[in-house]
Chains A and B, each alone.
Chain A
Amino acid sequence: MQEGTTALTQKANPLLALWNKPLVQAFLSDGVTLASGVFLVVVLVAVLFAPLVSPHKYQEQQIRLRHLAPFSSGEAIIKDTTARDVTEQRYFLLGTDHLGRDMVSRLIHGGRISISVGVLGVLVSGSLGIFLGLIAGYYRGKIDDVIMRVVDVFMSIPLLFLALMVLFILGPSFTNIIIVFAVARWMLYCRVTRGVVMSLREQTFVDAARAIGSSDQRIITRHILPNLITPLLTIAALEVPRNILTESALSFLGFGIQPPESSWGLMLASGRQYITSAWWIVVIPGLAIFLTALSFNLFGVWLRAVSDPLQRWRWLKQTKESKEAGITF
């Protein structure tokens, strides 16, 4: 394509303009990041449109079809009130579980719980941590001391112990797992927020805002919060997989999601006793957890790298222009 035409199409086509952004270029040129990004999009779409994408009903039990190996098919019996039962040939890509339920459909629906626990957990614990961190870092003094000592107390025992304590007292349920993350992970956001706020509040632009009579609330929301977005976003991206893994561990131990609801961790736990006869019931949900957590982690690390001014050049400059210019890293 000639240079003139490229410029024209760039103006006309916003997609093409996006394509030429250095960040997008960096994302596309890094194979590992691109692969994890694509995987995440596929998982998120599948989970969002779960009823549409699931090949079969995820709760439908066909006891005659139990423990079907992956890539096999079998005859399902459809109960009919009027006439005799009708049979239907069905294909099971990832096999069936111990109750004859389709693994693909269960995986997609279980992912709904696992991923929403991961994301909601980050939102709730993040909000709590940011709020307390803002107060501690902005007002300092006694309240800062109190909040930071409480952080120390919560940091003094392992995450899983804290989570088990909360679930022991409140009982297992979806909402209580979100509460677990609020209780057990807020300290991280609080510490980071406090650190950033403490350095920001000493800077000239905050003094200037105060000098023209801005209220504390306005300074915090208009001048300090926007500067917190980048560091907190990168933490959040790395906390989602951590939450997914913790939820699956809690469900595995029997303290998390309870049947008939299902998450990946619970699927794995319920298939545990069939591990010798039907390995796929255990292997497949575990792979789902692993690949999703890995993709989130790799994407989160990439996000951290490109938002860090000291590291960014390594990723951003590897565009077509720099390669044409003969610059290699």
Chain B
Amino acid sequence: MRNYIIRRVAHSVLILGGLMALLFFATNILGDPVELLVGDDAVQEVVDALRRKYGLDRPLHIRFADFYWKLLQGDFDRSIRLHIEARSLVFERLPNTAVLAAAAWGIGMIGIPIGMLAARRPRGIMDRFVNVLTFAIISIPDFWLALMLVLLIAVQFELLPTSGFDGFGLSGWKYIVLPALALSPRVLGRNAQITRATMIEELGKQYVATARSKGLAEGVILQTHVLKNAAISIVTLMGDELAGFMNGATIVEVVFGWPGLGALLIDAINARDLPVITATVFVVALMVMAINLAVDMVYTYLDPRIQYK
């Protein structure tokens, strides 16, 4: 088990290092960092001055080594736009995205009972309905759904503010409802699909037949036996969804002016702020890996049959 963790962590570090090399290669060799910063039509003197200022006149291999050395220390340089540490900017935004994710996940839990209902009779009415429903959900453009919510709930009925952010206190809850609602359908759909698939698989197993032959009520079998076993897969598969979740979160944060990591990345790209872009990509990749690793660990704890060597 310990060896497995060490190997997994080493693999993750390797991948992160590779990702950062890719980013460095893309911005320094495919593109030119100074040109990315000022655009194509800048005066040559300005370009040269900036090149000296950011040390970009040094040879490529020295810059590459410097980039990695700073990366090891967790230093991403200062934001070009805001002149504060890119790292602190990212850590400031991280909790906002995390809270939004938790709220959307909370609403998305409704998918679990829906998936259970569908699993009771495969290809029955409920199952076909859930099937079409989940595909409808993954086919909705996130930003369109967000705008529709704004149009209906915020503009038409004036129930909630159209956008903004006001901390997580008593006055702040109003602002999180719409973004969380806009993000939740995808989580809900996935949860329903995963629950349905794992429940059907579990229902085919022999212990269910044993329980039925003992004369246990179907509801008891479902709730005490099948759901417990299916829960393991449901929990673990949710971890895989985090990377995909960031796609939707980015769009929703932009639409609702929610100051999270996705909005930070979009702002940084618009401002051509390379240190912040690098820091955001690094932290998101790190989070995805950390959560996947944690989920794997939880998996072994929940299901003692699984052993990693």
Residues of A at the B interface (CB closer than 8 Å) are 32, 149-150, 152-153, 155-161, 164-166, 168-170, 241, 245, 248-249, 252-255, 265, 268, 272, 275-276, 279, 282-283, 286, 289-290, 293-294, 297-298, 301, 314, 329
Contact = CB atoms under 8 A, between A and B. Distances in A.
Contacts of A169: 26-27, 30-31, 36
A149 B135 CA distance: 32
Interface in B220-266: 243-244, 246-247, 250-251, 254, 265-266
Contacts of B265: 161, 164
Contacts of A286: 141, 144, 147-148
A205 B140 CA distance: 45
B26 A297 contact: no
Contacts of B289: 156
Interface stretch (B15-23, B71-79, B298-306): B15-23
Given A168-B277, A301-B135, 5 more contacts: A165-B277, A169-B27, A249-B142, A268-B143, A283-B151
A161 B281 contact: yes
A265 to B, nearest CB: 7
Grouping DSSP codes into helix (H, G, I), strand (E, B) and loop, the A interface class, with mixed when no group exceeds half, is helix
Interface in B137-184: 138-144, 147-148, 150-151, 155
Interface in B107-140: 123, 128, 131-132, 135-136, 138-140
Nearest to B23: A165
A265 B143 CA distance: 9
Interface of B: 11, 14-16, 18-19, 22-23, 26-27, 30-31, 36, 123, 128, 131-132, 135-136, 138-144, 147-148, 150-151, 155, 243-244, 246-247, 250-251, 254, 265-266, 269-270, 272, 277, 281, 284-285, 288-289
B36 A168 contact: yes
Given A275-B147, A290-B140, A314 B123 contact: yes
Given A156-B289, A158-B247, A169-B27, A245 B277 contact: no
A289 B19 contact: no
Contact of B16 (A156, A165, A279): A156
Contact of A275 (B14, B135, B151): B151
A159 B141 contact: no
B288 A156 contact: yes
Contacts of A254: 270
A168 B37 CA distance: 11
B14 A149 contact: yes
Contact of A158 (B18, B140, B244): B244
B299 to A, nearest CB: 19
B251 A252 contact: yes
A155 B292 CA distance: 13
A158 B30 CA distance: 21
30 contacts: A32-B128, A32-B132, A149-B14, A149-B15, A152-B15, A153-B18, A156-B243, A158-B250, A160-B246, A160-B247, A161-B281, A165-B26, A168-B272, A169-B36, A248-B143, A249-B141, A249-B142, A249-B251, A253-B254, A265-B141, A268-B141, A268-B144, A275-B151, A282-B144, A282-B151, A286-B147, A293-B139, A293-B140, A293-B141, A301-B135
Contact of B151 (A157, A279, A297): A279
Contacts of A164: 265-266, 269
Contacts of A159: 243-244, 247
Given A156-B15, A156-B289, A265-B141, A283 B148 contact: yes
A152 B27 CA distance: 20
Nearest to A271: B147
Contacts of A297: 135, 138-139
B288 to A, nearest CB: 6
